[in-house]
A and B are shown apart, each in its own frame.
Chain A
Amino acid sequence: MKFLAMCSTGLGSSFMVRMNIETIVGELGLSDVTVEHSDISSAGPGSADVFFVAKDLEDAAQGLGEVVVLNSIIDMDELREAVKSAAVRHGLL
């Protein structure tokens, strides 16, 4: 299972989201989940199972597959719920 955090440059917010997802994956005790980050232009539908983006990339991320849109990239409560839901959808929880 691969989660991919994306932003426009692959340098800033995607890295923050990746760190926060890794923290939550640890908290939830999920195994077999890898978390990476990248810029959106180098991601394709096969790049991950679940894609995480901030609102500004909502439109650009359509077509990649399972896309989770975050209102805030520093809101751990929102992100925790999003990661939990994704884990449930994929039978990890």
Chain B
Amino acid sequence: MLSDLLTEKKIRFSPDKLSWREAVTQVARPLLDAGDITPGYVQAMLESIAAGGTYIDLGHGIALAHARPEKGAVRTAVSMLRLAQPAPLLDQPEHAVDLYFCFAAVDAEAHMSAMASLARILSDARTRQALRDASSAPDVIKLITQFEESE
């Protein structure tokens, strides 16, 4: 379940104006600090985005940064960074993102299960808007928990 992964320490807010590189580095920071990913995983995400990876843009201002498990995923983990100002992917205005998620999975099965959990929550219009409106980590956790209990 997403609520097991996205804990308070893994949810951050930033008032700063960041570049997409800074945003990806910062959203990955809690996972790096916890040892969930290696520095190589962050590098792999940055490289794949630089190579044209606006595919991580889910729409509605939300992006899901991730790399392949073998790039340095130690434990299955998810983090979130909410920005006060958008950090457009590859500096392209049409990819303005102000809600970054970072995602690591240790194998295909864990990958699919965590991805499914995120997809359900982000595809629910009401929960998605509430997530965008949330202003603290406890609020985010409450929203996710409520969504999971309603399923």
Q: Are A20 and B68 in contact (CB under 8 A)?
A: no
Alpha-carbon gap, A10 to B61, bound state (A): 22
Partner of B123, one of A11, A20, A57, A71: A20
Q: Are B59 and A73 in contact (CB under 8 A)?
A: yes
Q: Are A7 and B60 in contact (CB under 8 A)?
A: no
Q: Are A76 and B123 in contact (CB under 8 A)?
A: yes
Closest chain A residue to B89, Cβ basis: A56
Note all chain B residues with C-beta closer than 8 A to A16: 58, 115, 118-119, 122-123
Q: Are A74 and B55 in contact (CB under 8 A)?
A: no
Q: Are A56 and B54 in contact (CB under 8 A)?
A: yes
- Assuming the A-B contacts A74-B128, A76-B123, A77-B125, are A12 and B116 also in contact, with contact meaning beta carbons closer than 8 angstroms in the complex? no
Chain B count of residues within 8 A CB distance of the other chain: 26
Interface string of B120-138 (1 = CB under 8 A from A): 1011110010000000000
Q: Are B55 and A13 in contact (CB under 8 A)?
A: yes
- Assuming the A-B contacts A15-B112, A16-B115, are A72 and B58 also in contact, with contact meaning beta carbons closer than 8 angstroms in the complex? yes
The answer to whether A47 has its CB under 8 Å from any CB of chain B is: no
- Assuming the A-B contacts A15-B116, A56-B54, A74-B59, are A9 and B125 also in contact, with contact meaning beta carbons closer than 8 angstroms in the complex? no
Interface string of B54-80 (1 = CB under 8 A from A): 111111101010101000000000000
Q: Are B60 and A72 in contact (CB under 8 A)?
A: yes
Q: Are A75 and B60 in contact (CB under 8 A)?
A: yes
Q: Are A73 and B116 in contact (CB under 8 A)?
A: no
Partner of A76, one of B68, B111, B115, B125: B125
The answer to whether A54 has its CB under 8 Å from any CB of chain B is: yes
Note all chain A residues with C-beta closer than 8 A to B128: 74
Q: Are B60 and A12 in contact (CB under 8 A)?
A: no
A interface residue numbers (CB < 8 A to B): 7-9, 11-13, 15-16, 19-20, 54, 56-57, 70-77
Question: Which 7 residue pairs of A and B lie closest in terms of their CB atoms, listed nearest first?
Answer: A72-B59, A16-B119, A74-B122, A74-B123, A74-B58, A56-B55, A56-B54
B interface residue numbers (CB < 8 A to A): 52-60, 62, 64, 66, 68, 108, 111-112, 115-116, 118-120, 122-125, 128
Other 12 A-B pairs with CB < 8 A, given A11-B108, A13-B64, A73-B59: A9-B68, A12-B55, A15-B116, A15-B119, A16-B115, A20-B119, A70-B59, A72-B60, A74-B58, A74-B62, A76-B123, A77-B125
